[in-house]
Amino acid sequence: MKGSSEIPLATRHLGAGLAALALVLTAACSGSENADATGGGEAEPATAMITPEDGSDEVKPNLPVKVESEDGTITDVAVQQSGGEAPKDPDDMSGSLNKDENVWVSDWNLYPGSDVEVTATVQNEDGEESEVVSEFSTQPATDGQRLELMSNFPTSDETVGVGMPVIINFDQAVENKKQVENSIEVTSEEGIEGAYNWFGDEMAVFRPKEYWEPNQEITVDIRLAGVEASDGVFGTENSQINFEVGREQISTVDDKEHTMVVERDGEEIKEFPISNGDASKHIYTTTSGTHLTMEKYQHLVMDSSTVGIPVDSPEGYKLDVNYAVRTSGSGEFTHSAPWNGQLGESNESHGCTNMAPKDAKWFYEESLMGDPFIVTGTDRELEVDNGWGFYQRSWEEWLEHSETGKADKTDGNGTVGSAHGEPDE
């Protein structure tokens, strides 16, 4: 459920339960004066168990809240959090109810250092409802032991290309990557399959199996609060990213033919003469593969020292260029090159895709971050971690590198596993 008054019947994968304190519900119940001749009477009030148990202190915030009833059905669970890292008005805690409607488990973790009140409503066979309450507090997050979001791409309110991944950068290393993955839910209007890969211990990347469907809204719920990134390191807050996928624009560069073709929504709209890297050295060879446009500059100074070649060396350079669109992390851009008289004829650059000024201006103005930019025909392959070369891994390889090994579906029904710090069943 997204709010505590609604409990979905879908069952999520849950870890092993904790020891629980049985609390007998004390709603009024007495024998009926109108009992039938067989001696039957009203049913006893339903009972329930809540974990963590009432009065617990210093509970790890990544342990699940669990409600179980052996003799009734669960009709409502409300989890209230205050103090500590909890915001003034925290979101309602959603949870998952099993098929028999007698076990409820929270979907997400609790805020560190907070006071928690869990109120469960259960119903006996006569439809009589009773409540049970458990109050406890969670372990705080200490200085230097707080996982926080460093940056993310895209940011809210951006419009991006159909290849755009969701890139999350954390402020410190993450050891429990599976827990963190399962705490981030990506939801799209057009549901697809996607999965995470990690590049180092501080960057998680969510990539669709194929490109996003164009013209739709994407929501990313980053529920870091209470997640245990590593031993004793807890996330402290939740956040959300909302962005839009725009039209589908895919550009393909043929290195041997010295052309770039741009397709929009499946139709060719432009063809440009270009000039790629001259390949006199490996570093001067334009990389082949599926790139994504990353950023763009109306004016940019290109300095060979940024790729390890001193400006004052025989092969050094420092150029002022216009209408530059980055396509890799190793210094490749499309840009205006009015000095290059071999556009459409031969490759003369240091690795960038040179274009005529009017063509470069058009491409600059019409590009969105995350547009696929595909280069064919060179003997230098784009590395998966060179810029945003994430589509260089096949979908099968991408899943193999995922911590969960499973595809997430972006249909709003949760993540593929538990966000809690407990062994998988």
Active site residues: 335, 352
The amino acid occupying position 403 is E
Which regions of 138-227 does DSSP assign to beta strands (E)? 146-147, 149-153, 159-160, 166-170, 184-188, 193-198, 203-208, 216-223
Please identify which residue in the block is written with the tokens 């870890």.
15
| β-strand partners of 116 | 81, 136
The amino acid occupying position 275 is S
Angle at 80 between CA 76 and CA 84, to 5 degrees: 160
Sorted by sequence, the CB contacts under 8 Å of residue 143 that are 6+ apart come out as none
Q: CA distances (Å), 31 to each of 27, 35, 38, in order?
A: 13, 8, 14
* 33: Cα within 13 Å, side-chain hemisphere: 0
Q: CA distances (Å), 99 to each of 125, 140, 325, in order?
A: 17, 34, 52
Q: CA distances (Å), 277 to each of 76, 162, 252, in order?
A: 64, 27, 16
Please identify which residue in the block is written with the tokens 């290393």.
173
Q: Which structure tokens are listed for 308? A: 């390890």
Give the residue from 50, 55, 68 showing the smallest Cα distance to 115: 55
Distance CA 165, CA 210 (A): 11
For the chain, the farthest-separated pair of C-alpha atoms sits apart, in whole angstroms, at 108
Strands 372-376 and 249-254: parallel
